Structure 1
Amino acid sequence: MDSEALDAALENVRRAGVPGVFAEVRDGDRAWRGAAGEADVETGRPVTVGMRHRVGSITKTFTTAAVLQLAEAGRIGLDMPIGRYLPDLVPGERGAAITVRMLINHTSGLAEYLPYAYPSLKALPVVSDTSPQSMDDLRFKRFDPVELIEMGVTAPAVGAPGGAPGVYSNTNYLLLGRLLEHVTGMTAEACITQNVIKRAGLKDTEFPSGPHLREPHSQLYEAWFGMIDPPRDYSVFDMSWTGVAGSLTSTVADMNRFYRRLMAGEIVSPESLAQMQVTGPVVAHDGTTIEYGLALFPMKETGRPTFWGNGGTVWGGGTLAMIRADGERQLAVALNTQRWNRLDSSGIPQPHPIDAALAELYRVAMYG
């Protein structure tokens, strides 16, 4: 690892416009850790590499691991219809057609509930017709996951069960949370904590018990495509709107530890891990198409080794955690702003220097 190149790449992300960014890169037994910028733009408090951070959809890998453990024990069938387990939540023909695997890999055809839970986002995916007003109005609202699931299930379908490409939807993962509860008798959060977080030996990873992050943490500055200017701090927020789809808090060290142990076959079996790496096309929230497996996706450059992991966003915060297929090289990155791209006259997000700076940081972290 070239620590000077990593330091420079991290600083370039800050200079490109991110208030604060911190990361851990590992290569075998060696580790580089770095932080640049401010955790609080009003006080100038610096970010530090050990800060807790909302990791967004990285939570989905944890939820999937808990489901796969139950599948290994014969308590869940990945290719069984979800209607067999949760007939009241996904009734009738859809419940019979949508399998547990389709929920995990986003090929269920179930719609995203988010635009229905947040009224000012109802125009999604047409971002230019949205407003961030709901983020303020509903900052402290305690959502019931069953209520959110109903919004997604009753909304117009976005595809046929098992169809390609799939469409990314948090509704899928809230259903997986209810499935965990149905099978184990525990809350989904307790099941994931006991069987995944503790098994991985993570000391700074947890589901939130309220709207506040435990210290130390950064503020989280949401820009919503330039509609919030200057970006507003949303570090205090009730995360029930995303639950086991995206509410975990963690550290870059814990994220690296989790994916290292997952790739080593210490969280799920090697057979389950192989299934996690079977990918297909999925349309993401931003309209791009990604290759997505069972809560893992690949990153690679031509002629270079493949990395596996996941990324996540919440209001004001973003993360990425990736590990090389051989388990030796890793990166985990956290930044305290989101949706910095402004929109053109057609409502299309435009490239921003942050995009290029992050891409370079990832390249240096993965390949040196």
Structure 2
Amino acid sequence: MKAELEAVHRAGVPGVWAEVRDNGTVWRGAFGDVTPDVRHRIGSVTKTFTAAAIMLLVERGQIELDTPVHGDATVRMLLNMTSGLADYRFLAFPSLLEGSPKSLEDNQFRHFHPRELIELGVDAPPVPPGTYSNTGYLLLGRLIEEVTGLTAERWITRNVIERAGLCNTTFPTGTRIEGPHPPMYEALFGLLDPPRDYSVYDMSWVGVSASLISTVEDLNVFFAALLDGKIVSRESLALMQQTGPVIAFDGSTVDYGLGLHRKGDFWGHDGSVWGAGTWSFHSEDGERQVSLAVNLQRWNSSAIDEALEAFQRSAVDRDRQPGV
């Protein structure tokens, strides 16, 4: 597994780090310009935290999964990506449709209000149900605020992050990451050559959909608690694990539930924001856990693709000892 992780770096990723847990054994590894304990932007892994917050409100009777939130779109449909609401990404970053990275620079220090991003998504033509979209999760954030009277970030922090006992997981309070963190290089499929460091960025463009900062250790702690029924009830967890096909941004089909992916008998989520990628999956019995991070995104390299896939295969192989 150590060799497979190093191969990801050798294939062209500046920094790659991971923590693998196997029945009490913990292995951490890092190659390149990083260490295993650095903080990073975890992208859409944030959705699992937001989904857990929604399920806690369901348990308390403050909302219902089948209550409409926008038009016919219910809470459940927003959680599992079946609402048909379009993603706002290309509307907030219009130059991407023109093959230009200009929008990334223009928006680096721009602060979006969730309402304006939601409006972009809901005003756009609908997409087929089962199409991945950030718009629904921003709507869920607004719902949390309406029900609790707190900002969604504060409520999720109090009731999910602190409940899990996480010490290095926070929503951003500015454009910079506090504490040790690597540069985060965005290649935008070759439009940025060389890739540009976007570790300093206003993450209001994704909010409670994909803005959390964390560590690979914290992610393993969080998912262990979630899958053990310590964040939401086991009944709520069972609902989160009711899955269907969803088309991801890269065109692949994922088995998606209420803020959770399924890969075989592993559960988790992956995430990507400008320059930062995360992959966090965990066996249902909690014995095997894998959280991986990279500080390069949207490369054009089959070598990187193959190296990442090789590491992921070895990491979820229960017959393979961590680090070997």
- The structure with higher relative contact order (CA 8 Å, sep 6+) is 2
Distance 1:139 1:235 in 2: 10
* Cα RMSD for the two superposed structures: 0.9
TM-score, with length taken from structure 1: 0.85
Equivalent residue, structure 2, for 1:63: 50
Report the 3-state secondary structure (helix = DSSP H, G, I; strand = E; otherwise coil) of the residue aligned with 1:31: strand
Distance 2:246 2:135 in 1: 15
- Aligned-partner residue type, residue 180 of structure 1: I
Equivalent residue, structure 1, for 2:27: 32
* Kept after mapping to 1: 8 A contact 2:99/2:191: no
Equivalent residue, structure 1, for 2:204: 240
1:47-82 deviation per Cα after TM superposition (whole angstroms, max 9, x unaligned): 100000000000000000000000011111001111
Equivalent residue, structure 2, for 1:329: 288
Report the 3-state secondary structure (helix = DSSP H, G, I; strand = E; otherwise coil) of the residue aligned with 1:167: coil
1:276-299 deviation per Cα after TM superposition (whole angstroms, max 9, x unaligned): 111111111112221111111111
* Kept after mapping to 1: 8 A contact 2:20/2:291: yes
1:185-206 deviation per Cα after TM superposition (whole angstroms, max 9, x unaligned): 0000000000000000000000
1:2-33 deviation per Cα after TM superposition (whole angstroms, max 9, x unaligned): xxxx2111110001110000000001211000
Matching of residues 145-160 of structure 1 within 5 Å: 145-159=114-128
1:68-100 deviation per Cα after TM superposition (whole angstroms, max 9, x unaligned): 000011111001111xxxxxxx3xxxx2x1110
- Aligned-partner residue type, residue 48 of structure 1: T
Pairing 1:112–2:76 present: no
Equivalent residue, structure 2, for 1:292: 256
Distance 2:253 2:27 in 1: 32
Specify which of 43, 48, 60 is matched with residue 73 of structure 1. 60
Range with greater deviation from structure 2 (308-317 or 282-291): 282-291
Equivalent residue, structure 2, for 1:228: 192
- Aligned-partner residue type, residue 108 of structure 2: R
Distance 2:94 2:46 in 1: 25
Report the count of equivalent residues.
Answer: 318
* Kept after mapping to 1: 8 A contact 2:255/2:263: no
Equivalent residue, structure 1, for 2:273: 314
Deviation at 1:240, TM superposition (A): 0.2
- Aligned-partner residue type, residue 118 of structure 1: F
Report the 3-state secondary structure (helix = DSSP H, G, I; strand = E; otherwise coil) of the residue aligned with 1:355: helix
Matching of residues 192-211 of structure 1 within 5 Å: 192-211=156-175
Deviation at 1:118, TM superposition (A): 1.2
Report the 3-state secondary structure (helix = DSSP H, G, I; strand = E; otherwise coil) of the residue aligned with 1:333: strand
Matching of residues 185-196 of structure 1 within 5 Å: 185-196=149-160
Range with greater deviation from structure 2 (351-360 or 190-199): 351-360
Q: Structure 1 unaligned runs (5+)?
A: 1-5, 39-46, 83-89, 124-128, 301-305, 342-350
Pairing 1:339–2:298 present: yes
Name the larger-Rg structure: 1
- Aligned-partner residue type, residue 54 of structure 2: V
* Kept after mapping to 1: 8 A contact 2:153/2:208: yes
Report the 3-state secondary structure (helix = DSSP H, G, I; strand = E; otherwise coil) of the residue aligned with 2:309: helix
Runs of 4+ in structure 1 off by over 6 angstroms are none
Distance 2:99 2:160 in 1: 37
Pairing 1:184–2:152 present: no
Deviation at 1:130, TM superposition (A): 2.6
Q: Structure 2 unaligned runs (5+)?
A: none
Equivalent residue, structure 1, for 2:75: 100
Distance 1:98 1:136 in 2: 33
User: Percent of aligned pairs with the same residue?
Assistant: 58
Report the 3-state secondary structure (helix = DSSP H, G, I; strand = E; otherwise coil) of the residue aligned with 1:323: strand
1:101-126 deviation per Cα after TM superposition (whole angstroms, max 9, x unaligned): 000001000011111111212x3xxx
Distance 2:176 2:67 in 1: 38
Equivalent residue, structure 2, for 1:42: none
